[in-house]
Chains A and B, each alone.
Chain A
Amino acid sequence: MREARAVTARRVALSAVGLVVAGLFAFPVYWMVSSAFKPTNQMQSTGYDLVPTSLTGEHFASAVGKAGFGDALRNSLTVTLVAVLFSLVAGLLAAVPLARLRFRGRKGFLLLVLVAQMAPFEALLIPMYLMMRDANLLDQMPGLVLVYFAATLPFTAWTLRGFVQGIPAELEEAAMVDGCGRWGAFRRVTLPLLGPGLVATSVFGFITAWNEFLFALVLFQDQSKRTLPVWLSTFQTAFGTDWGGTMAASTLFTLPVVVFFLIVQRNMVAGVTAGAVKG
């Protein structure tokens, strides 16, 4: 009896610890969202209020209406989506032979991808800047697109290779026996089965490019060319001490990432360990 009670007490204690830890992780996120909805006079008061007593949408209106938000959103979306599309195409083209075909130098190519993945991209800031300057790509969308393309490509190729390997080659062979050509077999059998892999991989690429700060800061000096992270980092000049507006903007910036993240969370741990997402 006493033992059973001790076990229960232990259980309750552990659950309490678990909830406290969960609270610590969730609090900044909660605080961002709740501050975004809190009226300004409640934000800048000395009163103590963990739960807002009234809600307002005015901060979202002011954040969206703030100079540069529309531009930054558009720039971020353009650069991110184009870069992800590029690396998806090039990555898939590379993944198929690396997973399926035998040819001389295969290991060398694999190693190249792996080394490129581990390369400290941040340390290439200076040459990248000089290259883009020489190519007249400073303050130009294609410049940043190329950087994000290169940053997401190794991971994309590597992960897609894993997904292709997961599809039994026998399926393709059966289709070819049935009269499909190599390309036809790939298009009708492998490609549809790769769907989830393509989604997961492009989401990783999206998150990487969407969050990137250093190169966006350096390669786009022109105010109208800023991406969302850079725009957000300058809020102190853009907003003064408008914390409500800042939190609303942060919330909007976070939303797509969290949604995407929840979709692919299951693949995340395995993917990252295999030498993957940049921190």
Chain B
Amino acid sequence: MTSTIDAAVPAGGSPPAPPRADDGRSSGRRRRPLGQALTPYLLLAPAVVALLALVGWPAVLVVLTSFRKMDLGELVRGELVWTGFDNYTTVLGDAEFWKITLRTVAFTAACVVATLLGGLVIALLLRQLGRVVRTVLQVCMVLAWAMPVLAATTVFQWVFDQRYGILNKTLVLVGLDSFEGHNWFATGPSTLTVIGILVCWQAIPFVAFSLYAGLLGIPRELYEAAGMDGANAWQTFRSVTWPTLRPIVLMMTFLQLLWDFKVFAQVWAFRQGGPNGESTTLPVLQYLKGIAGSHFGVAAAVSVLMVLVLLVLTVQYLRMLVRSQEVDL
């Protein structure tokens, strides 16, 4: 414990790791024993094998399956029936598919816009609040954020319940008598609106916290300078606040797009895509075609089409991450 560097290095016959500066690298020679050279690969092996087998291979398999006819019969018999682009022509030729795609895009867009706006307003609000109120608001948001999706879905069903739900009762109390016994799940748009509110309620805290963290990084002097220059609130926001927030807002937008496009649990748990399939989104369609309907090839084609959309978004997001040096490779 007390031995100094000077004493230890010459005495030790065992090879202590050389200080990084005079590592073999700098002199251009590599004389690491083979075992040591293999160490990083051995350590990485379990993770790499797992990722290739459980993410990489399924990713290949989903593409392969999408070019096969694979219904229950083929599955049970273990047949390989290649059908080329048949599944895609089936899916893309179905008017219902385009309706569902459009619905999914609209749902995603509405959720993302509402989440970002809500998060931004709350982040700005957080900065203006005193310590006590700010803490209260933060704790309440953490609660909403932390709530498991399925528990939140159940509570929302109870709040929006037709007969005894607190929402209808409250609306009647404030004089909107037409809401007595109002069924919020009678139509697709209404059902999706409730689901959207739930999604935003759980997503806004994360966005608000991220943007608030960004706001805290803006030096106070900048605001003082803007004040001295006679800038009004909007001008200050545009020239001081927004430049800092912009990259965070962009990143949040991508993350929310990726997440909201894939929402399944909430949609399924509310009305299983109903009534009459009116709240069915693409992930639900994938489930209905594949798992419920046993048309695995068609479902895989739906998955691939979903992935294509997500891929465009993901590549953009990754490029942004790498460029912003949030991620140093």
By a beta-carbon cutoff of 8 Å, the part of chain A in contact with chain B is 11, 14-15, 17-19, 21-26, 28-29, 31-32, 35, 43-46, 48, 50, 89-91, 93-94, 96-98, 101-103, 106-107, 109-116, 118-131, 133, 146-147, 149-150, 153-154, 157, 169, 172-173, 176-179, 181-182, 207, 210-211, 213-214, 217-218, 228-229, 232-233, 235, 243, 246-247, 250-251, 253-254, 257-258, 261-262, 265, 268-269, 272-275, 278-279
Contact = CB atoms under 8 A, between A and B. Distances in A.
A48 B168 CA distance: 11
A33 to B, nearest CB: 10
B310 A279 contact: no
Which 10 residue pairs spanning A and B have beta carbons closest together?
Answer: A279-B259, A150-B54, A97-B40, A127-B61, A261-B146, A213-B265, A94-B47, A127-B58, A26-B140, A250-B151
Contact of B40 (A48, A101, A228, A262): A101
Interface stretch (B95-103, B186-194, B218-226, B282-290): B282-290
Contact of A29 (B143, B149, B269): B143
B150 A229 contact: yes
B283 to A, nearest CB: 6
A118 B262 CA distance: 12
Contacts of A17: 125
B107 to A, nearest CB: 14
Given A15-B129, A25-B144, A211 B149 contact: yes
A254 B148 CA distance: 6
A43 B231 CA distance: 54
A130 B158 contact: no
Interface string B70-86: 00000100000000000
Contacts of A214: 264-265, 268, 283, 287
B137 A124 contact: no
A273 B129 contact: no
Contacts of A126: 62, 65, 286, 290, 296, 299-300, 303
Interface of B: 1, 3, 5, 8-9, 12, 14, 16-17, 19-20, 25, 37, 39-41, 43-44, 46-48, 50-51, 54-59, 61-62, 65, 75, 122, 125-126, 128-130, 133-134, 136-137, 139-156, 158-159, 161, 163-164, 166, 169-170, 173, 201, 203, 205-206, 209-210, 213, 251, 255-256, 258-260, 262, 264-265, 268-269, 283, 286-287, 290-291, 296, 299-300, 303-304, 306-307, 310, 314, 317-318, 321, 326-327, 329
Contact of A169 (B20, B255, B268): B20
A225 B141 CA distance: 33
Contacts of B283: 122, 214
A123 B306 contact: yes
25 contacts: A14-B129, A28-B156, A29-B144, A91-B47, A93-B47, A94-B47, A94-B48, A96-B43, A123-B304, A123-B307, A125-B290, A126-B299, A129-B296, A173-B16, A173-B20, A176-B17, A177-B3, A177-B9, A179-B8, A214-B287, A232-B150, A233-B150, A233-B154, A235-B154, A272-B210
Nearest to B209: A269
Contacts of B59: 119, 124, 127
Given A214-B264, A273-B251, A273-B326, A257 B65 contact: no
B327 A97 contact: no
Contacts of B147: 28-29, 254, 257-258
Given A19-B133, A126-B300, A254-B151, 14 more contacts: A11-B130, A15-B133, A29-B147, A97-B39, A101-B40, A102-B25, A110-B329, A118-B317, A127-B300, A129-B291, A131-B58, A150-B51, A258-B143, A261-B142
